Amino acid sequence: MRISKGALLVVLALTIPLIVELRTMLVWVGIELSVLESAVIGVTIVAIILLWAFLPEGDDNPNRRVSNGD
């Protein structure tokens, strides 16, 4: 897991108001979303965050050599 469970809960809690206000922000630029479309976007954002959080931590550089301790 890439992030602690408590931090994940905080990120998800802060994402909810962002999703709710997304409709208002998009109306300012002329894009109107229905409640269903907002819900789909919200579920997608939450799913992406959860997918990222539950992926195992990997090596950022796959070409890096690992020392065997010798």
Summarised one tens digit per residue, pLDDT across range 10-61 is 999 999 999 989 989 999 999 999 999 999 999 999 999 999 999 888 766 6
Answer for the pair 62, 28: CB distance below 8 angstroms, yes or no. no
Closest CA to 1 of 55, 58, 59: 55
| Packed helices 35-54 and 5-28: angle between N→C axes, nearest 10 degrees | 150
pLDDT at 63 over 80: no
Domain locations in the chain?
A: 5-54
pLDDT tens sequence across 4-22: 999 999 999 999 999 989 9
Sign of the dihedral defined by the CA atoms of residues 30, 33, 34, 35, in that order = negative
User: Token pair of 46, please?
Assistant: 């939450």
Instruction: Give the 3-state secondary structure of residue 7.
Output: helix
pLDDT at 1 over 80: yes
